[in-house]
Amino acid sequence: MSMNISLTVNGVRYSHNVEPRLLLVYYLRDVLRLTGTHVGCDTSSCGACNIILNGKATKSCTLLAVQADNAVITTIEGLAKDGELHPLQEGFKQCHGLQCGFCTPGMIMTSVDLLQWNPDPTEMEIREALEGNFCRCTGYHNIVRAIQYGAEKMSAIKSTQKEAIV
Amino acid sequence: MIPVAFEFQKAKTVDEAIAAISGSGGKILAGGHSLIPALKLRLSHPEKLVDITGIAHLKGIVEKDGEIIIGAACTHAKISGHKLIQEKLTYMAKGASLIGDPQVRNYGTIGGSLAHADPAADWPAMVLAADAEIEVQGPQGKRKIKAKDFFTGFFSIALHDHELITAIHIPVPPAGTKSSYQKFIQPASRFAIVGCAVMRFPDGKTNIAFTGVSDHAFRDHPAEQFVSGKELNESSINASAEAAMVGVRISSDHYASEVYRNHLAKVYLKKALREVS
Amino acid sequence: MSNTNGFIGKSVKRVEDKRFITGHGHYTDDIILPRQTFAIFVRSHYAHAKILDIDTAAARTMPGVIAIYTGADVAHINGVPCGWQVNFKNGDIMKEPKHPLLVADKARHVGDGVAIVIAESKEEATEAAQAVHVEYEELPCVVDAYKAVQPGAPQVHDDAPANTSFDWALGNPIEEVNAALSASAHVTTLEFVNQRMVPNAIEPRSYNSSYDPSTEKYTLYTSSQNPHLIRLLMCAFVLGIPEHKVRVVSPDVGGGFGSKIFHYAEEALLTWCSGKIGRPIKWTAERSESFVTDAHGRDHVTKAEMGFDKNGMITALRVKTFANLGAYLSTLGPCIPTWLHGTLLQGLYTTPKINVDVTGVFTNTTAVDAYRGAGRPEATYILERLVSLGAHEMNMDPAEIRFKNFIPPFNGVSEPGYVTQVALQYDSGNYEGVLKKGLEKLGYAELLKKQQEAVNSDKLIGIGFSTYIEACGVAPSAVAGALGARAGLYEVGHVRVQPTGKVSVYTGAHSHGQGHETTFAQVVADRLGISMDDVIIEHGDTESVAFGMGTYGSRSLAVGGSAIVKSIDKIIEKGKKIAAHKLEASADDIEFASGKFTVKGTDKSLGFGDVALTAYVPHIYPQDLEPGLDFSSFYDPTNFTYPFGCHIAVVEVDKDTGKVTLKRFVSIDDVGNIINPMIVDGQIHGGVVQGIGQALFEGAEYDEHGQLTNASYMNYCMPRADDVPMIETGTQITPCPHNPLGVKGAGEAGTIGSTPAVVNAVLDALWSAGHNVKDIRMPMTSERVWTAMQL
C-alpha cells in the first residue's frame, strides 16, 4: 500500500506515492536522484546520510519517507546559493576537511546544524557535535579546522551585515 | 536491509493511536531511533506503525500541581535544552545530553526510550531516581505506573497490550535538592556500561538508581541505606559503594565483564554521591 | 629539482573538492542504468557447515524475481584467484584451495555466498532472498590461527592439511640467530596477538555490471582501488571472457584502505549473471554484510624475542608468527604476512641477526588481506614493542636505546643504500634526525617531570615511542616476481597535449581520497610551466587509461607520478624538435623553461601552446617527425621507497577505570620530497587515527562458533572526533634517490607508526606507577587496562 507524500527539498516542492517502508534516504537518492546523501551503515551510527529536516540535523536513514510528509528539507545539494558555496563548504575545501568525500555531505550538514545553535564552538564542542559522524580518512583534524573556518567566516558575514544595517 | 512491508498511520489523538494499535500487529512510532534500526535489521516486523509525533499534548513540558510533566514524545534534545528541566532536574538535562549523538537526540523520545527499555539506556535510571510515575493510556483508560514497578526485566516493562506511554510525572524536587547522573559509556554504541543517577533531597533522603549494570534498570536500596538521611562524607560514600550491587545479577559483555562492571558501578556511584554532597 | 614553476611544495587546495562538497561526487551506488536490476545475496549464517539442500522454488515465483543462481550453477567457473604465490620452506607451492563464486558443498565462514537473487527492485530481491531455504549441517569450526594448526583441529579445506597454506622463513640461518640470542646479556620476550581489523571504508563495496548483447561487451562499475587489475583477474582467471570487450570503471570511491584492492567474488559473479540475463545488475553491501565479507586485516599470533648486549645494543631478533589468512586466499593474502612483514623486521636498527618464521593458516573466518600498512604495521609493532619493553627491563630510556641502535644516516647517492638481513636495500635515511625532531616538538624533559608528578594523582601519564620504516612505492616488477607476485607492479602515465595546449593526463593510479587530481596536476603544471587549470587528471576507467596497477602500498606518486614525468620528458623532447624547426635552430640549442621553448642565448622563443598547436597543425613541421603531442609511458621502479619516521603518544590513564585518554600525538615523518604538504599532512592525520583505532578501539572478535560478535558499529568501535586530539605533525625530507620526483609515499606512514606508540605510552603510564605488566591486548579497552593495573 503506497501513500502520498508532499515535501519541499532544497526549495523544490515534490509529491510522490511511496511505500511506507521506504526510508527517507532512499527517497532522496532513488526517487529524487539526489545522490549526495549517502548510506554508510545500517545502525544509524555513521552519519553519512545526514540532512537538515525542519531545521534539525537528521539521519535520513532512520526516518521513513512518510514521516517526512510536509517537511522542509535541505540536502548537501541545496546548501550553495546561486553557485556561491556556503562558508562551511568553503571551509572544508580550504582546510582539506575531506579526502574520499563520502562522509563529507553528512559532516557538512551536521556542522550547519551545530553552528545554528552554537555559532562559536570550542574545539571540544565541535568534536562532540561530530559524535554521530564517522570519517575514516581525515582523522577528523582538518574537519575540526574546516568547521572553525566556517564558524569564523559566518560570524564575520553576520557582523558585516549588522554594520551594513547600522 | 529493507524493512518488511507495513502500513503507516499518523494519529492525531491518543485515542486514535490506541484504536489503531488495538488491531493485530500495530506498533507505536515516536522518534523511531530504536524502532527503525530494528525494522531495518528485520528484528521487528509490525504490520502497522502508528506515528504519535503529531499529537501536540505529548510534546509538552510543564509544571503543574507539584509535578513536572514531560510528554512522552519529547525528544532528548528538547528535554536537555528545556529551562524547567535545567533548573529543577539538572541531572536529567545533563543525562539527556549524553544520549547517543546530536541527531539521535533530535528524534529519540523519552517515551520511546522507556517503552523500548534497553538495559543500557539512560532514561530508566533517571526516572527511577526521581520517583517518577509513568502515565500510560490504553483501551481501559489512563493509569500511572510507579517507575520502580515499570521495568520488569530484559527489554520488558509493565505496559499492557495496546497501551502507550503518554507522560512522565516527576514530583517537583524541593529547593536545595541536588542531583547527578554519571555515565561510563560503551565506546562504540555510546549506551551506558554504567549509568548512575542520584537525587539527594534537602532532608537527606537519597535515591540511587543504576542502568547498564543488569538486565534492567533498578534502584539500589542497600546502597541508599548508608547515605539516605545520613551525612554524606567519604566514609558514608564508601560504605554506600561497598553495599551497592548486593544481590544484583550483573551483566557481562564484550566491553565489561561482571567483575569490571561491578567495580565501575561503585566508582560511578561514588562520583555521583560526591557531586551531590 | 630543476625547472620548477612554483607548484611543487605548495599546499594547493584540491581541485576535486568541489564535486564532493556540493553533493556531486559520483560513486558506484549513485549509478542507475537503464533496465537496472538489483541483486541480494543469500549468505551462510554458519562459520562451517555442509550445504545439504538449497530450495529456491518458492523464491523464484515471487514478484519481480528475474533469476536466482546457486553454487551448483557456477561450479564450472574458476574460483577467485590469488595474486601472490608463497612457497613452503621445502619449496612446495602454497596450498591454494578454490575460492568459488558461490559455495556449493560447504560454507567456510559466516557470510560465505550461497546464492544470488536478482529482481526488478531491491525490495523484491530482499523478499525473495528471505524465501530461499538453505539446509545446513553445522560442522565444528576454528577461528584462531594457532589453534587451527594443532592436531585434531577442524579442517577448513580437505586439500590443506593442518589448515596450513604455507610455512615460510626469511633472514639469517636460525642456528646463528639462536646462538646470538643465547650469547645476549638480556633477552626480551613477548607473546602477543596483533588483532584482526575490519577496514570499514565508509562507502560500502558496490558493483553494477551490465552486458550489451549487440556489441558483446561488458561494463563493470566497481568501488575498486584498481580497475585494470580487476579486469585482468576477472577476464583471464575467473570468467575467461575477452579482456578487450570488458570495460571496468572505478568512479569516485569512498575510501579503500586496502579492502578495495582485491578482486571479490561478487564482481565476477555479477558480471557473469549480467551476461546471462542481459540486463545491468547492481549490488551494494549492507554494512553488516561488509563486516563479514570485506577482507579483514592483521590477525597475527606472534612470539618474538630480541637480544641485547650489556650496553643495550640489539644482538638478534627471532620472530615466529601464525598468520590467519581466513577461509580463502584473498588477492594478496599470502604476501602480507611474509614479504611485506618479514622483510621489515630490520626496522631502523643495526640488528646483525634476524630470523622470521611465518605459518599461513586457514580458519573459518573472513579472508585476511592488506589493510592500510599491510604487514608493515605488524612488523613495526613487533620491533617497537620489543625495543621499548627491552629498555624498560634494562632500565634505559626508550629514546636513548633507539639512538644507540639506529642505522647511521646515508643518502643513497654518495653513500650506498643499507642492505638489511631480510632481503631489502634501504634507499636513503636519516633515522636519528626524526627522533631528535620528535623529542624537541614533544618537550620530552618537561613531560618526564609531569609524569613523575602524576604518579600519585588520579591519572597516570605515559609517553610512548615508535620509530618506523616501511617499504613503499611498490614495486620493481622483477623483484616482486621473484618473490611470488603474479603481476607486474609498474604504472602507466599517459600525457595527451591537446591542440590548444590543454593537457589531459591518464594515470593507472586510482584516487579514492588521496587527491591525485591535485598532486599529479601540480607535477604536470610545474614541469610544463603551464597553469594547473590547463591540466586534467583522468583515472579509473579501463576504456580511457591504457593500463594501470592502481593505488595501494603508498605507490601512486612514486610509481604513477614517475610514469607521468617520463611522458612529460618525451613531450618536452619532441616539443624541442618542433620548436627548433619553427625557430630555424638545432634541437640541441633549444631550452625549455617556464612553458617556453627558447633558442639558447637568444630571445627567440615559442610558447608551449604554440608548439602544441603546431604539433596538430603541422604546416611548418620537421619532415621526419610524426604529428601530435601525446605520449604514454610505463614506469617500473628500480627499488622500493623507504619512508620512515618517529611517532610519540602521550596518554592519561584513569586509575579508577583504566580509561585511556590520548592527550597528544606527535609525528615526524620523512616521506621524501613533498609535492603538496597539505595533502601529506592529511594522509598522516588519517593514518595516525587508524593506527590509534587499532591500539585503543577496534578489533574483530570471533566467538567459538565462528560468529563475528561485533559485526556492527554498535559494538565495533570506530574512532570518533571526540576520541582523538589534534595531530602534531612535522616532516623531515630525505629525498628518494631512485625516482625522478624524489618522493617516497605517505599513505600508510601514519598507520604503521602510530599503533605501537600508543600501546607503549599506556604501558609506560602503568610502569610509572610500578605495575609489573608486559603486554595488554589490543584494543586496550578500559577493562583490559584496569585489569592490568590490579597486578
Cα of first residue to Cα of last residue in chain A, in angstroms, is: 57
A39 touches chain B (CB under 8 A): no
Integer Cα distance of B215 and B120 in angstroms: 8
- pLDDT grade, residue C190 (50/70/90)? very high
Integer Cα distance of B79 and B94 in angstroms: 10
Mean pLDDT of chain C: 97
Integer Cα distance of C757 and C666 in angstroms: 10
Q: Is the pLDDT of residue C5 over 90?
A: no
Question: And the C-alpha cell for C686?
Answer: 588519517
Q: What is the pLDDT of residues B2-19, one digit of tens each?
A: 999 999 999 999 999 999
Q: Is the pLDDT of residue A163 over 80?
A: no
Instruction: Let me know: does C551 contact C530? Beta carbons within 8 Å.
Output: no
In the DSSP assignment, the letter for residue C29 is: G
Q: What is the pLDDT of residues A42-95, one digit of tens each?
A: 999 999 999 999 999 999 999 999 999 999 999 999 999 998 999 999 999 999
Pairing of strands B133-138, B61-64: unpaired
Q: Which residues of A touch B37 (CB under 8 A)?
A: 42-44, 62
- pLDDT grade, residue C4 (50/70/90)? low
Give the helix ranges, DSSP H, for A8-140. 24-26, 87-94, 104-117, 123-129
Instruction: Let me know: does B148 contact B155? Beta carbons within 8 Å.
Output: no
Give the helix ranges, DSSP H, for C278-330. 287-293
In the DSSP assignment, the letter for residue C104 is: S
Query: Chain C 74-113, CB below 8 Å of chain B: which residues?
Result: none
- Picking from A33, A77, A131, the nearest residue to C22 by CB comes out as A77
B254 touches chain C (CB under 8 A): yes
Element (H, E) at C186: strand C186-197
Q: Is the pLDDT of residue B1 over 80?
A: yes
Q: Which residues of B touch A66 (CB under 8 A)?
A: 8, 51
Mean pLDDT of chain B: 96
Percent of chain C with pLDDT over 70: 99
Q: Residues 6 or more apart from A157 whose CB is under 8 A from it? A: A87
Question: And the C-alpha cell for B224?
Answer: 541508599
Separation in Å, CA C696 to CA B191, C412, C699, C757, C776 = 18, 37, 9, 11, 11
**Among C23, C29, C30, C27, which residue's Cα sits nearest to residue A77?**
C23
ω before C779 within 30° of 0 (cis)?
yes
Q: Is the pLDDT of residue B277 over 70?
A: yes
Q: What is the pLDDT of residues A106-143, one digit of tens each?
A: 999 999 999 999 999 999 999 999 999 999 999 999 99
Which whole number is the average pLDDT over C340-348? 98
Residue carrying the nine cell digits 565495533: C716
Question: Residue C686: phi, psi to the nearest 5?
Answer: -65, -40
Element (H, E) at B208: strand B206-211
Q: Is the pLDDT of residue A165 over 70?
A: no
In B, minimum Cα distance to A66 occurs at B8
Q: Is the ipTM of this complex over 0.95?
A: yes
In B, minimum Cα distance to C284 occurs at B1
Q: Is the pLDDT of residue B89 over 90?
A: yes
B38 touches chain A (CB under 8 A): no
Chain B nearest C-alpha distance from C295 (Å): 21
Pairing of strands C503-507, C535-539: parallel
Q: What is the pLDDT of residues C585-638, one digit of tens each?
A: 999 999 999 999 999 999 999 999 999 999 999 999 999 999 999 999 999 999
Q: What is the pLDDT of residues C227-249, one digit of tens each?
A: 999 999 999 999 999 999 999 99
- pLDDT grade, residue A160 (50/70/90)? confident
C252 touches chain A (CB under 8 A): yes
In this predicted structure, what is the pLDDT of residue B23? Answer: 77
Total length of chain B: 277
Burial of A17 (0-12, 13-18, 19+ CB in 10 A): exposed
C19 touches chain A (CB under 8 A): yes
In C, minimum Cα distance to B271 occurs at C656
In B, minimum Cα distance to C722 occurs at B187
In A, minimum Cα distance to B98 occurs at A128
Instruction: Let me know: does C192 contact C777? Beta carbons within 8 Å.
Output: yes
Integer Cα distance of C188 and C393 in angstroms: 8
C358 touches chain A (CB under 8 A): no
Q: Which residues of A touch C200 (CB under 8 A)?
A: 136
Q: Is the pLDDT of residue C446 over 90?
A: yes
User: Residue C75, by phi and psi: left (phi above 0), alpha (psi -120 to 50) or beta?
Assistant: alpha
Q: Is the pLDDT of residue B155 over 70?
A: yes
Question: And the C-alpha cell for C427?
Answer: 634507499
Which residue type is seen at C488?
G
> Reduced to 3 states, what is the DSSP secondary structure of residue A60?
helix
- Picking from B42, B187, B267, the nearest residue to C717 by CB comes out as B187
CB contact under 8 A, A45 and C253: no
CB contact under 8 A, B107 and A63: yes
- pLDDT grade, residue C153 (50/70/90)? very high
CB contact under 8 A, C721 and A126: yes
**Which residues are paired to C459 by β-bridges?**
C654
Chain B nearest C-alpha distance from A141 (Å): 19
Q: Is the pLDDT of residue C321 over 70?
A: yes
B103 touches chain C (CB under 8 A): no
In this predicted structure, what is the pLDDT of residue C3? Answer: 45
Q: Residues 6 or more apart from C150 whose CB is under 8 A from it? A: none
Which residue type is seen at A164?
A
Query: Chain B 173-202, CB below 8 Å of chain A: which residues?
Result: 190
In A, minimum Cα distance to B49 occurs at A20
Q: What is the pLDDT of residues C378-392, one digit of tens each?
A: 999 999 999 999 999
- Picking from C30, C202, C284, the nearest residue to A35 by CB comes out as C30
- Picking from B1, B42, B188, the nearest residue to C713 by CB comes out as B188
- Picking from B2, B3, B8, the nearest residue to A66 by CB comes out as B8
Which whole number is the average pLDDT over C504-513? 96
**Which residues are paired to C55 by β-bridges?**
C133
User: Residue C757, by phi and psi: left (phi above 0), alpha (psi -120 to 50) or beta?
Assistant: alpha
Q: What is the pLDDT of residues B160-175, one digit of tens each?
A: 999 999 999 999 999 9
Query: Chain C 461-500, CB below 8 Å of chain A: which residues?
Result: none
DSSP calls for C139-173: ------HHHHTSTTPPPS-TTSGGGEEEEEEEES-
For chain B, the 3-state helix, strand and coil shares in percent, each to the nearest 5, are: 35, 25, 40
In this predicted structure, what is the pLDDT of residue B24? Answer: 74
Question: And the C-alpha cell for C698?
Answer: 577496534
Q: Taken in order B118, B122, B126, B132, is the CA torsion positive or negative?
A: negative
Integer Cα distance of B25 and A148 in angstroms: 49
What is the four-CA torsion angle of C181, C184, C188, C193, rounded to 10 degrees? -10
- pLDDT grade, residue C1 (50/70/90)? very low
**Among C205, C273, C283, C207, which residue's Cα sits nearest to residue C239?**
C273
In this predicted structure, what is the pLDDT of residue C407? Answer: 98
Which residue type is seen at B43?
L
Chain A nearest C-alpha distance from C679 (Å): 7
Q: What is the pLDDT of residues C291-306, one digit of tens each?
A: 999 999 999 999 999 9
**Among C266, C262, C239, which residue's Cα sits nearest to residue C331?**
C262
In the DSSP assignment, the letter for residue A147 is: H
A129 touches chain B (CB under 8 A): yes
Instruction: Let me know: does C529 contact C608? Beta carbons within 8 Å.
Output: yes
Query: Chain C 270-289, CB below 8 Å of chain B: which residues?
Result: 286, 288
A29 touches chain B (CB under 8 A): no
Instruction: Let me know: does C788 contact C765? Beta carbons within 8 Å.
Output: no
